[in-house]
Structure 1
Amino acid sequence: MSMPVTINIRYKYILLVTLATVSVLLFFYGLTRTDMQTLKNPASLSVPKVHDLDQNRKSLFKKAPVKNSLKCESTISFQKNVLFTYYKHSFEGVKKVALIGFPDHPNKGDSAIYIAERKLLEVLDIQVVYICSSQSDYSASSLKAIVQESSPEEFAFAFHGGGNFGDLYPDHQQLRENVIHDFPNGRFVSFPQSIWYNDETALQQTANLYAEHSQIQLAFRDRQSYLTGVNGFGENNEILLTPDIVFFMGTLSDIRETTPIKSDVLILARLDHEGGQQHSSESLYHEGLTSGNVTYSVEDWLSWDPEEATNSDATFDTKGESRFLSGAHFLASHKAVITDRLHAHILSTLMGIPHIVVEDSNMKKITNYHNTWLRGCTSDGVSVIVDSPEKAIKILMDWKKQQYI
């Protein structure tokens, strides 16, 4: 006759705790695997491992020290992960969206944002059923007919991201506010934006409108914008700090590797003088670069548009894709970049192009973003931010001497 098995109370407690812990770990492991399998390329989200420090490893930034490139790649992977996680839950249950604010202009950075937004929505298996670019092509009646075809929990309005939240670009802001006004019961999700108001009264008016709608989620892409968003809208709306959506693309070294080099340095300087930026004069760079035997060009990517984007029958996707790719190849056709545009900074980072940001704008849009998300990419042969062309030239010459470019 077998004897009953008895378990000491203390050991029984330890066994139960161990089993519970293992169950929780298995649950989160399964949840994580499910999330990652939703991505088309889940491996791109993983953080580089220690063995990747091997000197034979192919760096994103080809000539920078491997440790500098590796640290930046980890920073990129982290941002992509944050974006996927946030928007997966933000769009939970959504099957269709209306994308409000397509950037129908030559700014290649805004087109990069659009392409990244489409890629994320595709990964989340969300169909874009309506797009408008401005108040001129927005039709409330047409959109209402589309909305009525879906259940409320499966439809959302997605606001295009970028730097046009506020009164600096009033047409874009007015379009969003018109849509919110026309759809009082709508669910609104914003892709990451920067916010800037010169008029506090205008900010308060926007906040009052948004306060009337409980289903508005606002995402801001730098700490300063986030704080402004919390103070202005946080009492009534959901506010989150997220990276710029372009980081969802991950690394883009293939574009750099397939683009022929035209000159040593591209000086991509904005012509619109946003926030007081004025670095488009060639005279600021000519003497310092020519004395160092450096070939260069000075241009803003607003000054031209690819032929595909100017065709009258071009679709939104055709315009966005052609502008994004032309801007990326424009950057990649140089060994290094000096710029005062945020998305020239971001795309150069993703393509592995050594670059220097010059910013003395009172908006500090690039510096605010960099200090929020890209400190891991601040290193020799990768990127750095300075406040004058003279400092940029000095660093560039040092990088050339060190053979980082």
Structure 2
Amino acid sequence: MIKLREKIKHGLYSTNIFVHKFPIKPKTDKNRIFLLGTPLFMNYGDQAISLAELQFLKRQFPSKEIISIPEDAVYQQLPVIKKIINSTDVIALHGGGNMNDIYPLQDEQRIAVIKEFTDNRIVLFPQSTSYDLSNSSSSFFELKENIENRNNVYLFFRDQYSMSFMKNNIQLKNIFCVPDIVLSLRVNSGMVDRQNKITTFLRRDVEKVVNENVINLVKKVNKEYNVEKSDTADTFWMEHVVTKWNHEKLVKKKLLEFQSAKLIITDRLHGMIFSIITGTPAIVFDNSNHKIKNAYESWFKDIPYIYYVEDTDNIKNVYSKIDELMNGRTQTYTMPDFSSYYAELIRALSRTS
């Protein structure tokens, strides 16, 4: 039996006050996309992903009914969906960065869905992977067993490393690389007064890389500049119950923190991505499973306002870059257009391929 603490940690538990009732309609002639596994816990990166997924689906498929089921309720709703699903309906699985050995419960749920719907197209929104194949108990092996040679399973990964890893280790023709779906999010580009401050979004969890040089840099920055400490994960997530009414508002509020800063310092993937979509300069460090490095090298190397720190043993130039940015003219950059990169994802979800 999985301990309650572990269920909460992985976002797979909630009391009844958090779970929506799902009055899923009976069979219908209208094609549907079922988006399964969206989070209720307050990680703003994951919340931005689910918001972007929903907006993407509604924008690209206005004639289809979009039904979203949070991860807390997936197991409960599988029998209901099984009874009413049409052969032309598509199952979409929530994206993110949890296809690895750190979060096995997420794979457990994905595998359950893949097993249940053998006749429907299943599309995984962009994910990152970092499995350890030397670990014989890795969830990767059961995942591989259930999707290998399935013609109706489409896997999308948000960096070249993840895509190459899966192509090299799973016999599946439908594996693609597209940007993180948050880069499709439409952000209000209205004027926001940038304050002369640095905002830090630094990890405090298992994915954090502890480097003495980075620690000293942060200490120095705290002494010399106006620094506001924040994060893209909310420790007190129960204070922010996510509903369909406040979902977008919560994400926009977090993005406003990026828009109002002159510089971001982060070791979170969505710290970097939120900086990109708000046009905010950022100093970026890698995390333990390298999903930041992999995403940066796949998509973001040419973005002039993102400064990825490759060598944390030699960061003297980082100090000078911070000085340059903080003492220079306040500037908001224009986010690159990533829309053309989602063509394969759109084709997979539309069932035209």
- TM-score range relative to shorter protein: 0.7 to 0.9
Please name the residue that 2:19 is paired with.
none
TM-score, with normalisation over the residues of structure 1? Answer: 0.66
Indicate whether 1:205 and 2:128 are aligned. Answer: no
Structure 1 residues 108, 130: closer, same or farther in 2, change over 3 A?
closer
**Distance 1:192-1:136 versus aligned 2 partners, 3 A rule:** closer
Alignment of 1:377-396 (within 5 A): 377=303, 379=304, 382-386=305-309, 387-388=311-312, 391-396=317-322
Output the amino acid matched with 1:226. M
* Contact kept? 1:114, 1:320, Cα under 8 Å: no
Distance 2:302 2:215 in 1: 31
Q: 2:127 aligns with which of 169, 193, 199?
A: 193
Distance in 2 between the 1:307 and 1:262 partners? 30
Equivalent residues in 2 for 1:30-179 (5 A)? Answer: 95-123=31-59, 124-125=61-62, 126-134=64-72, 138-147=76-85, 150=86, 152-153=87-88, 155-179=89-113
- The CA distance in 1 between the partners of 2:74 and 2:317, in whole Å, is 44
Match of 1:27 in 2: none
Pick one of 184, 190, 210 that aligns with 1:248.
Answer: 184
Aligned counterparts, 1:162-311, within 5 A: 162-200=96-134, 201=136, 202=138, 203-211=140-148, 213-233=150-170, 235-250=171-186, 252-254=188-190, 257-258=191-192, 261=194, 264-274=197-207, 276=209, 284-291=217-224, 294-303=225-234, 309-310=240-241
Amino acid at match of 1:157: I
- Percent of aligned pairs sharing the same letter: 25
How far off its partner does 1:393 sit?
3.4
* Structure 1 residue runs without a partner (length 5+): 1-93
Matched residue type, 1:297: E
Shift of 1:248: 1.3
Provide the alpha-carbon RMSD of the alignment.
2.8
CA contact (8 A) 1:338 1:392 kept: no
Give, as a single letter, the amino acid of the residue that structure 1 aligns with 2:290: K
- 1:327 equivalent in structure 2: 254
Larger Rg: 1
1:272 & 1:302 partners in 2: Cα distance? 10
Q: CA 1:392–1:110 in structure 2 vs 1: closer, same or farther (change >3 Å)?
A: farther
* Per-residue Cα deviation, 1:276-334 (whole angstroms, up to 9, x for no partner): 3569x97642334533xx20022323235688842xxx63x335323312221222232
Q: Take 1:340 and 1:326, find their aligned partners in 2: how far apart are those partners?
A: 20
Offset, 1:238: 0.7
* Structure 2 CA distance for partners of 1:138 and 1:396, relative to 1, 3 Å: farther
Q: Residues 232 and 270 of structure 2 are in contact (CA less than 8 Å); yes or no, is this contact kept in structure 1?
A: no
Cα distance in structure 1, aligned partners of 2:234 and 2:216:
19
Scaled by the length of structure 2, the TM-score of the pair is: 0.75
Q: Which amino acid aligns with 1:366?
A: I
When residues 402 and 385 of structure 1 are mapped into structure 2, their CA distance, relative to the original with a 3 A threshold, is same
Q: 1:306 to 1:171 in 2, by over 3 A?
A: closer
Structure 2 residue 299 is the aligned partner of structure 1 residue 373: yes
Instruction: Decide which structure has greater helix share.
Output: 1
1:365 and 1:223 map into 2 onto residues whose CA distance is: 10
Structure-2 separation of matches of 1:146 and 1:222: 35
- Give the letter aligned to residue 110 of structure 1: D
Cα distance between partner residues in 1 of 2:120 and 2:251? 30
Distance 1:301 1:129 in 2: 26
How much does 1:262 deviate? 5.6
